[in-house]
Amino acid sequence: MVISELKDVRQAAKILMQAQNTASQDMLKWSLNGENRAIQDVASQLAELNSLWTEVQKEFTEHLKDYKYQFEVILEGERHVDQARNHLAACEQREMKIKKELKKAAKKATEEEFRQLEIKLMQAESAKDLAQLEVLDRIQENEALKTMRFKQGILKISEAYVELANKCAIIFGAQRDISCYIPDVEGHDLHEIKYTGTGITKQAVVKAKDHIRQYRHQANHLIHRPQPTMEEPPPPYSLNYYRGDAGSFNINSAAFYPTEAGANLYVREHSPFLDVIPCRQRVLANHPLTNRSNPRPPERDIRWNELDYEENLSGAMGGTKIE
């Protein structure tokens, strides 16, 4: 049913394309029979656009043909599955038939005839087992093929419809622009109206053709990229780390590590120690705050002379010594 319906869709698309082309050619002939320059020029340019639109529709019908072919391949795989199932049914019937003959031979047949029937039954059971395995293999193979072909067909026909819609917008957008250059005759004397859109309408057609050509070129070089997977963000974007120009700051441990200008420092916490990992540039290993052997900045050696204690204290508070 699907294949026949898709065939009708493709045939209907061809009929619509032919009807549009015929209508455009008839409109061009009608315009040439008159003496209206505006109508003649616009009808001529619209005929060019219609030819371009016809080519676009022909390409789309080829995509419909390819879409139908995907289901034909799926149907061929299902036929192979049906053949395997029919073979299995024949093997089961042969097994049942031999079993019935074996029951009858148990009373009348000789020992040699009975042994021959048992051998036939074993062969029939073996053939049935092989047929069952073949059916399972055919079903699995067909399901994989069906999934692959169905996905491929849906993706391609979806892209074909998107391409058709975009090219349709380009062509009929140009047609709309061309129609705007037909002069308005309301409230004006027809002999005083001059048509000046001949060159502009041609440029609109050329521009539409260029856009269609560029669209094809981009479509031929289109690269499908795999969808990105959701992963944990890298350390610079983690919620527990802050990277500044002066250094890195671990929110959990509240440890700050200064770096060189432009250095890229990642701070990670490994209990019970902090591990500083430099990237691209070295860390200031000798800096007092990054040197593990000296985690704190050196304290200044400040000593007061006991003899001049009062004088030093007064000077520090802004006082002046009076002698």
Percent of the chain past pLDDT 70, that is, above it, reads 64
| Model pLDDT for residues 207-234, shown as the tens digit of each residue | 999 999 888 767 655 444 444 444 444 4
Give residue 113's pLDDT: 78
pLDDT tens digits, 147-166: 999 999 999 999 999 999 99
Looking at residue 85, its pLDDT comes to 94
Region for 222 from its dihedrals, namely left if φ exceeds 0, alpha if ψ lies in -120 to 50, beta otherwise: beta
Q: At what angle do helices 111-179 and 37-108 cross, to 10 degrees?
A: 170
d(CA 67, CA 164): 15
- DSSP-assigned beta bridge partners for residue 250: 241, 255
Report whether pLDDT(295) > 90.
no
Rounded CA separation 55/170 (Å): 14
- Compare 244 and 174 and report the one with higher pLDDT: 174
What mean pLDDT comes out for the span 52-77?
A: 94
- Which helix H or strand E contains 133, and what residues bound it? helix 111-179
- Please state, rounded to an integer, the average pLDDT across all residues of the chain: 75
Paired strand residues for 255: 250
CA-closest candidate to residue 207, choices 169, 172, 168, 174 = 174
The SS3 of residue 299 is coil
Closest C-alpha to 94, from 116, 125, 118, 130: 125
pLDDT at 308: 55
For helices 198-220 and 111-179, what crossing angle results, to 10°?
Answer: 150
